[in-house]
Amino acid sequence: MYLFLGIQRVFSAGTAYSIPIDASVGNVGDIVSFKGGKYELSSVVYDQDILGVITDSATTSIVDTSLPSYKLIVNFGENMVNVSNKNGNIKKGDYITSSTISGVGVRADKSGQVVGIAEEDYTPGSPDQIGKIMVFVDVRSQFINLTMGTNILTALRAGLEAPFLTPIISLRYILAALVTGASFVIAFTSFGRISGSSVEALGRNPLAGSAIRRVVFFNFVLTFFIMIAGLAIAYFILVL
């Protein structure tokens, strides 16, 4: 049970249902996936096959009494989840996903499949320490919104590394990459063309060297701002 403001609450707050899994597999709070036709503890980061979290107390439950061995899992509602800070300390409001530790969740820091949202902090002294926190379980693919402190290259890399993205989320990264690439191509093409013409003009008229150098410098500044503008547009495509 979990204590909150001195009042004892029953978890999970959602509806649990039984799955055919050996009684010796997993503990309350472990994350479960369905792979290769069988139920097992999640042991892959951002596991696309996450089903839910094992629970032993739910407001309602649906049980198949014909199963020789089963456990209850919930995929929506409040439930205790086993977590570690292997991917960083967990703060209230962070998304939780699966990890390489069987059944144990970690903080999600990029887009992909998540278990739910942490409702409390978890800051143990060691990443090897496993504890339980309350999580609002809602298994789904989630776009992790980037903060203003994240640069565009980090954002694009995080998108490419994310193991699963919905079509709309994928489109964001594709558009951001295209805008970034187009801005660099336009900037360097323009700079190369104008710089080449300036060098030719300088050869034909050495006396105009000062004016030509100003043109080249202006072109350099313009090229720089075109690239910055492209990066800014791509960044806002990702974060807005």
Per-residue pLDDT tens over the stretch 55-70: 988 888 889 889 999 9
Element counts in the chain: helices (H) and strands (E) = 3, 13
- Residue 52 vs residues 18, 71, 76: alpha-carbon distances, Å: 11, 11, 8
- 152-239: CATH architecture: Up-down Bundle (1.20)
pLDDT value of position 146: 53
Distance CA 52, CA 84 (A): 17
Of 130, 46, 135, 150, the C-alpha closest to 94 is 135
Mean pLDDT calculated for residue range 6-10: 39
Domain 2-142: give its CATH code: 2.40.300.10
Higher pLDDT, 145 or 185: 185
What is the value of pTM for the model shown?
0.61
Burial of 7 (0-12, 13-18, 19+ CB in 10 A): exposed
pLDDT > 90 fraction of the chain, expressed in percent and rounded: 40
pLDDT value of position 49: 92
pLDDT tops 70 at residue 155: no
Please, are residues 132 and 83 in contact by the beta-carbon 8 Å criterion? yes
pLDDT value of position 86: 92
Higher pLDDT, 170 or 188: 188
How many C-alpha atoms does 190 have within 13 Å on its Cβ side? Answer: 18
Please, are residues 118 and 96 in contact by the beta-carbon 8 Å criterion? yes
**Domain layout of the chain by residue ranges:** 2-142, 152-239
CA 111, distance to chain mean position in Å, is 2
Predicted confidence band at 116 (pLDDT cuts at 50, 70, 90)? very high
SS3 68: coil
Predicted confidence band at 149 (pLDDT cuts at 50, 70, 90)? very low
Name the E strands within 75-175. Answer: 76-83, 95-98, 105-107, 112-118, 131-142
Please, are residues 95 and 143 in contact by the beta-carbon 8 Å criterion? no
Predicted confidence band at 199 (pLDDT cuts at 50, 70, 90)? low
Among 5-9, 131-135, 166-170, the range scoring the smallest mean pLDDT is 5-9
SS3 content of the chain, % helix, strand, coil (to 5): 35, 30, 35
SS3 226: helix
pLDDT tops 80 at residue 193: no
Higher pLDDT, 21 or 159: 21
Asked if residue 24 has a cis previous peptide bond (ω within 30° of 0), the answer is no
pLDDT value of position 65: 86
pLDDT tops 60 at residue 35: yes
Higher pLDDT, 220 or 120: 120
Higher pLDDT, 214 or 85: 85
Predicted confidence band at 23 (pLDDT cuts at 50, 70, 90)? confident
